[in-house]
Structure 1
Amino acid sequence: MTLPDAAAQALQAFEHAPGWEQRARLLMQWGERLAPMSEAEKRDEHRVHGCESQVWLSAEHFDGCWHFKAYSDARLIRGLLALLLVRVEGLSAVEVEALDLPAWFTDLGLARQLSPSRSNGMNAVLKRMREYLADIR
């Protein structure tokens, strides 16, 4: 599966970050790219349960492709969300279903630094994405 352009850019940036400090800084920078969600978008139906931080996720489906929007009150989580969103942006339902989230974060060099609660949170976001997919079918 080929990577969306933004995901390929993220992968290249993280591959050139030699250590955790540089990756953490990059993670924060990617998090700043997330568009904030309005208070109207931060309603309970968009809330992702299973995350220690507050996380919201919305989805749109058009022309056979999925487009997600996410936000969190936690800086590191915003970075992880941004990296997840660039990985799934514009994918079909089949491609989103096939996404190996642990492999993506391993490729970025972030898997070892993900605490179990952050890893569980990202899995909860991916699960919620897949629920959106099921709602359309």
Structure 2
Amino acid sequence: MANARFEDLVDTFEFLDDWEDRYRHVIDMGKAFPAMDEALKVAATKVEGCASQVWIVPTVEDGTFQFQGASDAMIVQGLIAVLHELYAGLTVGEVRGVDAVAELSRLGLNEHLSAQRSNGLRAMVERIEETAARAA
């Protein structure tokens, strides 16, 4: 089950003709994503397994999942924004029910990301899923 905002993103990707346009859209999403407080960029929030520097701070408030994130790479910052569209605002139970691999494959990301970027994306998803599992 995907968030309604993610469904809008899938529609946008279907509208965009080629991967170059989609890639630019992901980067633009990252540029528009709210900046994370520098004080949160610490070892405990750093996501290991990414080629670039990545920090994810997931939170659950009143049963609703949210997260902040940041990266020093534009495309990865965009991938954080994509994950935000997929997960933010869902209940913990809904987060646990998301098949991230299937949902992200609807965007064609798995076919166009390097192995390192794919590993990093997988590590970010794992951090999100672990947070939801602990909150359940």
Common fold: TM-score over 0.5: yes
Match status 1:102 vs 2:101? yes
The aligned length equals 136
Deviation at 1:41, TM superposition (A): 1.1
Which segment drifts farther, 89-98 or 48-57?
A: 89-98
Matches of 1:78 and 1:104, distance apart in 2 = 18
Match status 1:121 vs 2:123? no
**Residue type of the alignment partner of 2:3:** P
Can you list the C-alpha shifts for 1:94-135, whole angstroms capped at 9, x where unaligned? 222222222222211322102111111111011111222243
What's 2:25 paired with?
A: 26
Matches of 2:4 and 2:100, distance apart in 1 = 18
Kept in 1, the 8 Å contact 2:96–2:133? The answer is no
Kept in 2, the 8 Å contact 1:15–1:109? The answer is no
Instruction: Determine helix, strand or coil for the equivalent of 2:39.
Output: coil
Deviation at 1:8, TM superposition (A): 2.1
Deviation at 1:136, TM superposition (A): 3.0
TM (norm. structure 1) is 0.90
Instruction: Determine helix, strand or coil for the equivalent of 2:40.
Output: coil
The unaligned stretches of length 5 or more in structure 2 are: none
What's 2:15 paired with?
A: 16
**Residue type of the alignment partner of 1:84:** L
What percentage of aligned pairs have identical amino acids? 35
Aligned-pair RMSD on alpha carbons? Answer: 1.5
Kept in 1, the 8 Å contact 2:92–2:135? The answer is no
User: Normalized per residue, which structure has more helix?
Assistant: 2
The unaligned stretches of length 5 or more in structure 1 are: none
Instruction: Determine helix, strand or coil for the equivalent of 1:56.
Output: strand
What's 1:42 paired with?
A: 41
Matches of 1:64 and 1:27, distance apart in 2 = 28
Matches of 1:81 and 1:8, distance apart in 2 = 16
Kept in 2, the 8 Å contact 1:56–1:70? The answer is yes
1:76 and 1:48, CA in 2 relative to 1: closer, same or farther beyond 3 A? same
Can you list the C-alpha shifts for 1:51-99, whole angstroms capped at 9, x where unaligned? 1111101122122111011111101111111111110011122222222
